[in-house]
């Protein structure tokens, strides 16, 4: 009963988070009068949400595990919109990178990182090489991540910063590097089952995370070589979009997956 009650609580928390994120999306997409200070506050708010949910060591079916893809997707989407309407300053970009380093044990981070990198590169290649390079065939929803109004300079600046937001990708294969965060040390102190931060079970996913990161970098290299479409079309890592009906309608989904109106 206690486990069921805990799951119901997590479900309710996730539903509320979904609704808040949806309103934040609407605010960023529709507002035409937000000032720079407001944009900075909104981005800081999103960073705080992501850090609170994603920095702790991952535990299966907890609220962070359920919302990982969603909160990261909203963060990246709104950050790209902000790049057009009010380009984040150096302090925000530094905070963004520092917090991303705390989330490297989350598979969803690399998934979103790859999406944004290749979407920005697709736009970048068009003004770097023009018709000499084939247009990248990427999913429509990925291409739409980059606002049409984004200038060449903005694309170049954002591309560089997003690409470097995970630090050295090689460290994704090293548990002793990824676990060097306050949250991992704190978990090891209070846990009876985890004595050393490197022993946390969630770090077993690092080989998969490292592989995804290398696959994404490889895709970018292939794009520069003009071979992306022949090697990668139809092989994108896709995450199922948020369901619009209650999860009970779709048996393959976890019953804990929230689908608010």
Given a contact cutoff of 8 angstroms between Cβ atoms, the answer to whether 23 and 49 are in contact is no
Report field, pTM of the whole predicted structure over 0.85: no
Distance CA 9, CA 256 (A): 10
| Nearest alpha-carbon partner for 187 in 173, 172, 202, 174 | 202
Q: Quickly tell me which residue has 């548990």 as its tokens.
A: 175
Distance CA 20, CA 177 (A): 33
Distance CA 171, CA 151 (A): 33
Q: Phi/psi at 156 (nearest 5 deg)?
A: -65, -45
* pLDDT at 81 (0 to 100): 96
DSSP 177-212: HHT-SHHHHHHHHH-SS-SSGGG-GGGGGHHHHHHH
| Nearest alpha-carbon partner for 142 in 125, 121, 159 | 121
* pLDDT at 254 (0 to 100): 35
Q: Please tell me whether residue 237 adopts helix, strand or coil conformation.
A: coil
Query: Counting beta carbons within 10 angstroms of the beta carbon of residue 53, is it exposed (0 to 12), middle (13 to 18) or buried (19 or more)?
Result: buried
Distance CA 149, CA 181 (A): 37
pLDDT in tens, the chain (261 residues): 566 766 777 778 778 888 888 899 998 988 888 999 999 999 999 999 999 999 999 887 778 888 899 999 999 999 999 999 999 999 999 999 999 999 999 999 999 999 999 999 999 998 888 778 888 999 999 999 999 999 999 999 999 999 999 999 999 999 999 999 999 988 888 877 777 888 888 999 999 999 999 999 999 999 999 898 888 875 555 444 433 333 333 333 333 334 344
Q: Please tell me whether residue 242 adopts helix, strand or coil conformation.
A: coil
Crossing angle (nearest 10°) for helices 63-85 and 107-129? 20
Given a contact cutoff of 8 angstroms between Cβ atoms, the answer to whether 100 and 166 are in contact is yes
> What tokens does 185 get?
């040390």
Number of neighbouring beta carbons within 10 Å of residue 131: 7
DSSP 112-170: HHHHHHHHHHHHHHHHHHGGGSPPP---HHHHTTS-TT--HHHHHHHHHHHHTTT--GG
> What tokens does 192 get?
């009876």
* pLDDT at 6 (0 to 100): 65
Distance CA 81, CA 91 (A): 18
Crossing angle (nearest 10°) for helices 2-30 and 36-54? 160
């Amino acid at each position: 009963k206690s486990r069921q009650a805990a799951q119901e609580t997590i479900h309710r928390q996730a539903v509320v988070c979904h609704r808040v994120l949806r309103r934040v999306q609407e605010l960023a997409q529709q507002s035409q009068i937000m000032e720079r200070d407001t944009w900075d506050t909104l981005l800081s708010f999103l960073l705080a949400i992501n850090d609170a949910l994603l920095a702790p060591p991952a535990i299966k079916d907890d609220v962070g595990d359920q919302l990982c893809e969603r909160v990261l997707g909203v963060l990246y989407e709104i950050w790209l919109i902000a790049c057009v309407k009010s380009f984040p300053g150096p302090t925000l970009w530094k905070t963004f990178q520092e917090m991303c380093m705390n989330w490297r044990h989350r598979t969803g981070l690399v998934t979103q990182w790859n999406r944004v990198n290749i979407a920005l590169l697709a736009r970048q290649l068009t003004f770097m090489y023009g018709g000499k390079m084939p247009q990248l065939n990427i999913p429509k929803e990925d291409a739409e991540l980059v606002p049409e109004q984004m200038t060449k300079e903005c694309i170049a600046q954002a591309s560089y910063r997003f690409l470097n937001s995970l630090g050295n990708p090689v460290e994704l294969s090293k548990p002793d590097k990824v676990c060097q965060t306050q949250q991992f040390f704190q978990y090891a102190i209070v846990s009876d089952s985890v004595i050393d931060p490197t022993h946390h079970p969630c770090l077993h996913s690092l080989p998969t995370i490292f592989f995804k990161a290398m696959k994404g970098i490889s895709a970018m290299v292939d794009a520069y070589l003009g071979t992306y479409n022949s090697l990668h079309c139809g092989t994108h890592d896709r995450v199922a979009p948020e369901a619009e009906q209650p999860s009970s309608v779709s048996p393959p989904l976890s019953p804990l997956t929230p689908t608010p109106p």
